[in-house]
Amino acid sequence: MMKEPPRNPLAYLDERFVQSVPARPLRILAEYIDPLTRLQQEGVADTIVMFGSARILPRARAQARLARVRRAVGRRRDAASRERIRIARDVVEMSQYYEQARQLAARITAWSLTLGERPRRFVICSGGGPGIMEAANRGAIEAGGKTVGLGIELPREQRSNAYISPGLDFNFHYFFMRKLWFAQIAKALIVFPGGFGTMDELWEMLTLMQTGKLGRHHLILIYGRRYWDRVLNWRQMVRSGTITEREYGVLQFADTVDEAFERVKAGLVKFHLQLGLSWPL
């Protein structure tokens, strides 16, 4: 009597198929449906996205690093030693932005909690990594709220920070799907000092607003003009005609936690608080 040949696994249980090129649309769809489902389960209606450098340290760690460098250098005053101390001092100076991002996230979260939990409004969202991202998630958790991390799987990439709410720690393979979730339910973007990745997300949001793919009342707040004005000449773009005065006008600026909080709160109350929630179904 002939034995029946073993059955092939169901396609969606076949790891080799799921990871294949033809199955790429399924993986992309999974990175849309999974966040959609989990955000809805947690009652998250919309977010406030906070970007900034992954390399900015908390104040205590930055100061400890400076102390270690000074001990290592000792009394040496050669050029290399002076440069090591200068870099460590710059790290301490930049650490102010970690502490301010943490405070701002806590202020926004404490206010948002007064609006109720079903749905949860204006939940702090970050890229899930260290630096300013960690500070944002940390401040939100310390204020007693939920907080979202949208991580990305990369070679040698750091793990998610420890302050993301359980169930809201997402890990993406596709950059464009991660960007979609940054933009799709965000009502404001707060941009702290950062490098290429921070600029990438900023330009993405600005282009979506410029082309009408995001609502014109989405708020974009640039935090820390002392840093940003040395990195980018915003007004020169207007003078050169590469952007219009109206396009420049979508940017708001702040240099203190109080100023940033009041600007964000005012924009949310004016344009988003009473609007019906439009989930992307």
Domains within the chain, CATH numbers bracketed: 43-57+96-271 (3.40.50.450)
> Using CA atoms, how far apart are residues 252 and 254, in angstroms rounded to an integer?
7
pTM: 0.92
The torsion defined by the Cα of 34, 156, 93 and 65, in degrees rounded to 10, comes to: 130
pLDDT tens digits for 237-265? Answer: 999 999 999 999 999 999 999 999 999 99
> Using CA atoms, how far apart are residues 21 and 198, in angstroms rounded to an integer?
30
DSSP-assigned beta bridge partners for residue 186: 47
Q: What is the mean pLDDT of the chain?
A: 92
pLDDT tens digits for 172-227? Answer: 999 999 999 999 999 999 999 999 999 999 999 999 999 999 888 899 999 999 99
Q: 74 or 111, which is more confident?
A: 111
